[in-house]
Structure formats: C-alpha cells, structure tokens
Amino acid sequence: MTSRWSMAALCGLLLATPGCAYLRDRGNDALDILDLGVTWSKKPYLTVYGCAVGLASAGAGHFEGTFAGIGGGRLGVTGHYHRVLGLGLWSYEELGWDGYDKAKPETLYIQHPGIIGWVAFLPRKPAYAPGCLHFLHLGYAGLVANLRYWELLDFILGWTTLDVACDDGEKPGKWPWQKDGARNLPKRLELPY
C-alpha cells in the first residue's frame, strides 16, 4: 500500500515540474488537430462552405456567435467568427476564436487556400494550412467540422520533441523556417458580407 502512495506522490511531483510543460504541449497539440462542434447566434447568418485539403473549395458565408465543442485549440464553449469565400482553386478564409478582434488581424487566422492561393499568397501561419474546413450555418444554428493536417503532424512529431508548428508554449505558431517574431499576417480582403 505504501508503494502505491509513493508512486502517486512521484507522479504528482512529476506533473508539478517543468516536464509537465511537455505533456501540456502534447495536450494542446491534440486540441489543435480539429474543430468539431455546433454554432449558434443571436441574429441569422448563412454559411455553406467546404474546402478539400486546402487545394480547392466552394461556398461562402459569414458568422459571428458562439461555438461549443473542440475548436481553436480549446474544448468547451467559446466565441467564434468566420468569413469565407471558396471559388474553386482560390479561397479566402478568415477565422477567429475566443478573444479575437475583427479590427486586429493579428488575432485572426487569415489565409488564401487553393492551388492559386498557395502560389499567390503563401500561408503565413501553419494552423489551418493545409486543412479541410467545413462550415454550415443556416439562420441561428450550424455545424463546424475542420481537420488541420499540419497540426496532426505537429502532434505526432511532438512526442519526439519536434515542434513543427513552433507553437509549444506559445500561440499562434509559425512555420519552422520563419524567424521568431516574424510578421505572420497575410493580405486581408474586404468581402461585401
């Protein structure tokens, strides 16, 4: 019985040490892999949008309200915003999670996916590039189902201490070839909705 208490005390001590940051970062990496949940809003919005692996997309929409599920690296209920436009081989995606400010682009994930978008506007942040993003919001309620491939790779390689998203201990991440403090803001578009 004493050895069990000793083992529990040892585990507690390990979790209280800086090594716990390693496990916390792995947990954060796991939460970054997908966004899956429901949305609701006080006023009606319309979004029908799907993007396949960041190569092609179709649809459009705008939403600002509440999200419940796993999203933006969080589990639970949080604020969510998106403005998307998919025109086949070029898209525009602007996403915000808890604490975002539409007037401050540095608080948003902005990218231009699609084959044309990747060539003309290289992704500045790795979080949603490449990814399969899907938003459906009709009126006051909707669904979000996003898979983030770079974050999946970051989670798997993170167990070997490789942090390919460069987001351990900080958010948002950067590409491995970017210098610390690199300005990660792509060109922002003003859409009519």
What pLDDT, in 10s, does the model give residues 49-95? 999 988 999 999 999 999 999 999 999 999 999 999 999 999 999 99
pLDDT band at 23 (very low <50, low <70, confident <90, very high): confident
Please report whether residue 166 resides in a domain. no
Please report whether residue 174 resides in a domain. no
| Residue 59 CA to its chain's centroid (Å) | 20
Domain that residue 36 falls in: 2-158
Please report whether residue 176 resides in a domain. no
Please report whether residue 84 resides in a domain. yes
- Is there a contact between 108 and 96 (Cβ–Cβ < 8 Å)? yes
- 154/132 Cα distance (integer angstroms): 16
Would the pTM count as exceeding 0.75? yes
